[in-house]
């Protein structure tokens, strides 16, 4: 058995599930220790946790504070907002520093399309690797690992030349277009094969066999039986992929130079980089708008993936 490489989803899921299972009874009747013993055994853990939470959260507080700070400069921003204004948001949305709304739309469309395409292509390949035995299977899996260790960015010069050529033939997919940039990101089409394969391996083969005996084709087994069973995993993988795309900034910075075609990451970087001290408020407002959907997705999916994977589908 191999462990899927990035496995936090499952561990997070199990830990959350255990939490909910264990927390309820202990909350009502807590026969814990008291006094000095409590401090020695439990109390100090609160102290450590509070320090850690402070460390984890203070940059977030800072972003919020900067976003609502009317002056919007580094010097005037602390952890606690002293004044409150929405002017940073209205200035940003008014497009005074570039078409923010357009960037947002670009990013959302790009992330949705690319991450679903990546997850779909990965799921297809993972199915083949999990269910079929064919020549070059092991080699294929290992070379996938190796190839993906090479950051696509290192080949950016070649990619750049390649797409300036593509742009001459198909202008809609050349440099400075979202289509072309999206294609570049599809280089990660098989990025999630290992993760998804790990989960396919946990789906009992008896299910496929039963369906095959009933006359299902391999495609029907895949789309109707195996894929729905790991839907929560696919959602989590899609989130990882989504976050990967939203954070990609290097190739985007070289590829997308027109204001109209930029993504949020590139656009916001442009705002903060043009004046690191005084554009902080605008940047932070953008950062809040940028982060909120991702944070919400994280919260939402954490609960979503706690459902049992194949619980009950095979008895005995």
Partner 1 sequence: MTSTPTRPPAAVPASPSPAAPRRGADAGRRSVTASAALLRVLLLGTLAAVTVWLAPALVARESWVGLTALVVGAVSLVAVYSTSRFVPAKYLLPGTLFLLALVVYPIVSTLQLSFTNFGDGKRGTKEEAISSIVGSSVEQLPDSPTYALTVATRGSVTEGPFSFFLVDTRTGEVSVGDADGVQEVEAGEVTVTDGRVSAADGWTLLTPRQVNDAGAAVQELTLPTEDGAIRAQGVARAFEGRTVLRHDEATDTIVNTRTGERFGIGVVGDSEFFVGPDGRPAFSQSWLQGVGLSNYERIVTDDTVSGAFLRVFAWTLAFAVLAVGLSFAVGLALAVVLDDRRIRGQRLYRSLLLLPYAIPSVIALLVWSNFYNRDFGLINELLGLRLDWLGDPWLAKAAVLLTSVWMGFPYMFVVCTGALQSIPGELREAAVMDGARAWTAFRRIVLPLLLVAVTPLLIASFAFNFNNFNAIELLTEGGPFPPDSPSAGSTDILISYTYRLAFGGSGAQFGFAAAVSALLFLVTAVLAAVQFRATRSLEDVN
To 5 degrees, how large is the angle CA 277–CA 279–CA 280? 75
Binding mask 122-161 for partner 1 (x = CB under 8 A): x-xx-xx--xxxxx-xx-xxx-xxxxxxxxxxxxxxxx-x
Nearest to 122 by CA among 249, 212, 12, 6: 6
CA distance 129 to 73: 53
Q: Please, are residues 105 and 99 in contact by the beta-carbon 8 Å criterion?
A: no
Binding mask 182-211 for partner 1 (x = CB under 8 A): -xx-xx-xx--x-------xx--x--xx--
94 binds partner 1 (CB under 8 A): no
Burial class (CB in 10 A: 0-12, 13-18, 19+), 29: exposed
89 binds partner 1 (CB under 8 A): no
Q: How far is the CB of 30 from partner 1 (least distance, A)?
A: 7
Q: Are 6 and 195 in contact (CB under 8 A)?
A: yes
What are the CB-based long-range contacts (under 8 Å, 24+) for 79-88?
88/281, 88/282, 88/284, 88/285
Q: CA-to-CA distance for 65 and 53, rounded, in angstroms?
A: 18
Apex 287 CA angle, 177 and 264, nearest 5: 0
CB of 74 vs partner 1, minimal distance in Å: 4
Q: 234 near 119, Cβ under 8 Å?
A: yes
| Min dist. Cβ of residue 154 to partner 1 (A) | 4
Asked if 15 touches partner 1 (CB under 8 A), the answer is yes
- Closest to 121 (Cα-Cα) out of 72, 192, 171, 51: 192
Q: Which is nearer to partner 1, 86 or 162 (CB)?
A: 162
* Of residues 242-301, those binding partner 1 (CB under 8 A): 243, 246-247, 249-250, 254, 265, 268-269, 272, 276-277, 280, 283-284, 287, 290-291, 294-295, 298-299
Residue with tokens 């997308």: 256
Among 93, 108, 113, 162, binds partner 1 (CB under 8 A): 162
Residues in contact with partner 1, counted by CB under 8 A, come to a total of: 123
* Chain-centroid distance, C-alpha 90: 28
Closer to partner 1 by CB, 101 or 145: give it. Answer: 145
Min separation Cβ 243 and partner 1, Å: 7
90, 164, 217, 274: residue in contact with partner 1 (rule CB under 8 A): 217
| Pick 169 or 311: Cβ nearer partner 1 | 169
- Dihedral angle sign, alpha carbons of residues 166, 168, 174, 179: negative
Question: Is the CB of 99 or the CB of 244 nearer to partner 1?
Answer: 244
Cβ neighbors of 89 (< 8 A, separation 6 or more) are: 67, 285, 289
Q: Pick the stretch among 20-28, 98-106, 225-233, 306-314 that binds partner 1 (CB under 8 A).
A: 20-28
* Of the residues 84, 168, 228, 312, which one makes contact with partner 1 according to CB under 8 A: 168
Q: Longest C-alpha distance within the chain, in Å?
A: 77
Minimum CB separation of residue 3 from partner 1 in Å reads: 5
Among 8, 95, 307, 308, binds partner 1 (CB under 8 A): 8
CB of 156 to partner 1, least distance (A): 8
């Amino acid at each position: 058995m191999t462990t899927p490489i990035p496995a936090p989803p499952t561990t997070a899921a199990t830990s959350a599930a255990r939490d909910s299972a264990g927390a309820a009874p202990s909350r009502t009747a807590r026969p814990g220790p008291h006094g000095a013993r409590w401090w020695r055994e439990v109390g100090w853990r609160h102290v450590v946790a509070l320090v850690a939470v402070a460390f984890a959260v203070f940059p977030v507080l800072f972003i919020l504070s900067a976003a609502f700070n009317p002056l919007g400069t580094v010097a005037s921003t602390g952890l606690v907002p002293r004044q409150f204004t929405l002017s940073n948001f209205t200035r940003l949305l008014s497009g005074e520093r570039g078409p923010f709304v357009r960037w947002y739309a670009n990013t959302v469309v790009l992330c949705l399309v690319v991450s679903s395409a990546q997850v779909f292509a990965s799921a297809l390949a993972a199915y083949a690797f999990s269910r079929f035995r064919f020549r070059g299977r092991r080699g294929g899996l290992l070379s996938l690992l190796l190839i993906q260790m090479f950051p696509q960015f290192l080949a950016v010069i070649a990619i750049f030349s390649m797409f300036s050529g593509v742009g001459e033939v198909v202008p809609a997919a050349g440099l400075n277009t979202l289509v072309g940039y999206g294609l570049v990101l599809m280089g990660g089409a098989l990025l999630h094969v290992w993760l998804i394969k790990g989960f396919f391996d946990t789906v009992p083969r008896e299910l496929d066999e039963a369906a095959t005996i009933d006359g299902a084709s391999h495609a029907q087994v895949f789309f109707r039986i195996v894929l729905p069973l790991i839907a929560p995993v696919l959602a989590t993988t899609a989130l990882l992929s989504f976050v990967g795309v939203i954070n990609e900034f290097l190739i985007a910075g070289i590829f997308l130079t027109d204001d109209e075609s930029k993504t949020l990451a590139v656009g916001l970087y442009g705002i903060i980089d043009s004046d690191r001290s005084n554009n902080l408020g605008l940047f932070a407002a953008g950062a809040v708008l940028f982060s909120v959907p991702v944070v919400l997705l994280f919260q939402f999916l954490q609960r979503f993936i706690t459902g049992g994977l194949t619980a009950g589908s095979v008895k005995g």
